[in-house]
Amino acid sequence: MESIGVLMPIPMNSYLEQELQKRYNLFKLWTAPQKPQFIKEHADSIRAVVGNASAGADAELIEALPRLEIVSSFSVGVDKIDLAKCREKGIRVTNTPDVLTEDVADLAIGLILAVLRRLCESDRYVRSGKWKKGDYKLTTKFSGKTVGIIGLGRIGMAVAKRAEAFNCPICYYTRTEKSDMKYKYYPSVVELASNCQILVVACPLTEETRHIVNREVMNALGPKGVLINIGRGPHVDEPELVSALIEGRLGGAGLDVYEHEPEVPEELFGLENVVLLPHVGSATVETRKDMADLVLGNLEAHFSNKPLLTPLV
């Protein structure tokens, strides 16, 4: 398969990169000074694109690669891939579901605890020597608080399972109620936010879910409510989030994703009721290797004319 050209738009994972180089003719787009020219020169060789949550395959790239057969995403989210264009041209699309579910759900619980118990601020309190001058202030309990989840797919369910271990009542919003679900359903995000103390965003990013958490939702969650986003940055109206936190209309936030990554609103940096992570939901050694192996497995299956492991298109 060494003659098969695979395009990687940005650096993602050293193990994945090394394995791709062993098996295919790997084109690293980020190393090219003139990217459009680079794509034009190698267009006839490229039969696969390996993308991720930050860079995938938009309509322009797909049109520029006449021999493209498959886009294999090193992520579960595929909002950076033009799925309609892929369907139109018969291009297969795969992602990496399941293998990252546990890590992302673990991180959601970690963010909840970090915000409510002020773990990051408490750590800084000790390191700065302030503890010698007096005890840190009281914080807020997690156990028993109602957790609302937007999106009850694999990750949403894993968050619910973990929150239940803290004796938290669970409620949720999805486009349609799940008939076999024991959790309380609310038909709108505003109703969900009005009836929970912690709101977790865990749905895929689509045009319908862009800014699904807006000013109205934040006001419904209220000055004692906490927003946790482990989905995608554009799920949340970021300027409204900044305003709600600064004005005290929202109690706190734990964020792993942002609207314009890696840019993060600087107004959030000084807020002790906000915990900021650099999009590391699945960033463990174990999970990233599993994700890479799934990308490699999908490519191998495709070019060997075998069924794809995790087909989307």
Closest-CA residue to 26 (of 68, 42, 40): 42
Please, which pLDDT band fits residue 1 given cuts at 50, 70 and 90? confident
pLDDT digits (tens, 9 = 90+) for 221-255: 999 999 999 999 999 999 999 999 999 999 999 99
Residues pairing with 311 in the sheet? 94
- Given a cut of 80, whether residue 10 has pLDDT beyond it is yes
Q: Is the domain 5-95+286-304 a CATH 3.40.50.720 member?
A: yes
Please identify every residue annotated as catalytic: 232, 261, 279
pLDDT at 173 over 90: yes
Q: What is the pLDDT of residues 145-161, one digit of tens each?
A: 999 999 999 999 999 99
pLDDT at position 129:
98
pLDDT digit string (tens) for 96-125? 999 999 999 999 999 999 999 999 999 999
pTM for the complete prediction? 0.93
Sign of the dihedral through C-alpha 119, 121, 123, 129: negative
**pLDDT, average across residues 300-311:** 98
User: Model confidence over 271-297: pLDDT tens digits?
Assistant: 999 999 999 999 999 999 999 999 999
CATH number of 100-276: 3.40.50.720
The answer, yes or no, to whether residue 2 has pLDDT greater than 90, is: no
Question: What are the structural domain ranges in the chain?
Answer: 5-95+286-304, 100-276
Across 204-226, average pLDDT = 97
Question: Are 5-95+286-304 and 100-276 the same fold in CATH?
Answer: yes
- The burial of 307, by beta-carbon neighbours within 10 Å (0-12 exposed, 13-18 middle, 19 or more buried), is given as exposed
The pLDDT, as a whole number, for residue 157 is 98
Predicted confidence at residue 175, as pLDDT, reads 94
